[in-house]
Amino acid sequence: MAKPIRLDKLLSHMGYGSRSEIKKAVKQGKVTVNDRLVKDSGLNVDPENDEVYWQDTRVMYRDVIYFMMHKPQGVISATEDTRERTVIDLLQPEDRLLKPFPVGRLDKDTEGLLLLTNDGQLAHELLSPRKHVDKTYEAIVAGKVSEEDRDLFERGVQLDDGYVTMPAVLHIDHVEEQSDGSFTSRITLTIREGKFHQVKRMFEAVGKRVTYLRRITMGTLELDPGLPLGRYRELTEQELVSLQDHAASVKAKKTQT
Ligand code: URA
């Protein structure tokens, strides 16, 4: 049996209104618990085993949520900001109720995979600097990215603050000469840490500039190719279990060494 919770708390938590609105609705006979009409919104219910209905709709209680977002450019990875639009502003009001937050940051001009959850434990495991969860990015880089850059990234490059990055895997997907004689490269880069502006700074370290950046994976989680920019969806059960297993296995590896 799960910890009992007041009916009005459960319903407001799931977006059915304020406590006073719920009290009124319960009095009006809109809510049943285990097929019985209830009149007391202060009733304690077992959120996992009791069957709560709001009129004809079964109210499924949950307290953790996981969203995959295809972050567009122009919004910041924060929960609130006085000037800028945040990724939370892209959520439907009902999806903000459980207070999800972005797991890690993508720059304002970076697109791609962003996990939003209120599961602090999973977020901590995915972000902890002692864990090395792979993140893969696609980028367009001004300049001719070379095999030499690939070797440098594999060994680690020194960033502007002196930090030497962990080995990263660089694939050069396409290099194109422009009409003015300059070069543009399309690359895919997998890094195992998440320093501030890391991808951009790694390319700066080899004298090149990232002009477009998009994250496509984080651990086992892959950006759904069917998810339009600016949209989000819940993780599937399989995505969630794989990600949790992955976070736990990275931990297990670290504990052994
Ligand atoms: N590296 C960057 O430079 N920017 C991001 O948004 C993510 C990784």
Digit-coded pLDDT (tens) for 37-48: 999 999 999 988
**203 and 147 fall within a common domain:** yes
Contacts of 240 (CB under 8 A, 6+ apart): 66
Average pLDDT, the chain: 94
- Among 189, 191, 213, which residue has the most ligand 1 atoms within 8 Å of its CB, making it the best to mutate? 213
**What is the band of 253 on the pLDDT scale with cuts at 50, 70, 90?**
low
Pocket of ligand 1 (CB under 6 A): 106-107, 110, 197-200, 213
- CATH code of the domain covering residue 250: 3.30.70.580
- State residue 255's pLDDT score: 45
- CATH code of the domain covering residue 11: 3.10.290.10
Q: Decide which of 58, 82, 98 is a domain's last residue.
A: 58
Say if residues 210 and 140 touch (Cβ distance below 8 Å). Answer: yes
Q: Decide which of 38, 58, 78 is a domain's last residue.
A: 58
CA of residue 198 to ligand 1 center, whole Å: 5
**9 and 118 fall within a common domain:** no
**165 and 180 fall within a common domain:** yes
**144 and 213 fall within a common domain:** yes
- State residue 226's pLDDT score: 97
> Given the CA of residue 107, which atom of ligand 1 is nearest to it?
6
**210 and 142 fall within a common domain:** yes
Domain count, the chain: 3
Angle between helices 120-127 and 237-256 (to 10 degrees): 50
Hey, which residues are catalytic here? 107
pLDDT in tens, 89-99: 999 998 998 99
**180 and 231 fall within a common domain:** no
Q: How large is the average pLDDT for residues 189-217?
A: 97
Domain that holds residue 12: 5-58
The residue contributing the CA closest to ligand 1 atom 4 is 197
Segments of 178-249 assigned E as strands: 183-191, 209-218, 221-222, 232-234
**141 and 214 fall within a common domain:** yes
The residue contributing the CA closest to ligand 1 atom 2 is 197
> Given the CA of residue 106, which atom of ligand 1 is nearest to it?
6
**183 and 201 fall within a common domain:** yes
- Among 153, 166, 191, 200, which residue has the most ligand 1 atoms within 8 Å of its CB, making it the best to mutate? 200
**119 and 148 fall within a common domain:** no
Report the C-alpha gap between 204 and 21 in whole angstroms.
56
- CATH code of the domain covering residue 178: 3.30.70.1560
Report the C-alpha gap between 71 and 3 in whole angstroms.
36
Q: Which helix (H) or strand (E) holds 45?
A: strand 44-45
**74 and 195 fall within a common domain:** no
**140 and 214 fall within a common domain:** yes
**145 and 198 fall within a common domain:** yes
Q: How large is the average pLDDT for residues 18-25?
A: 93
Say if residues 120 and 147 touch (Cβ distance below 8 Å). Answer: no
165, amino acid identity: T
- State residue 250's pLDDT score: 77
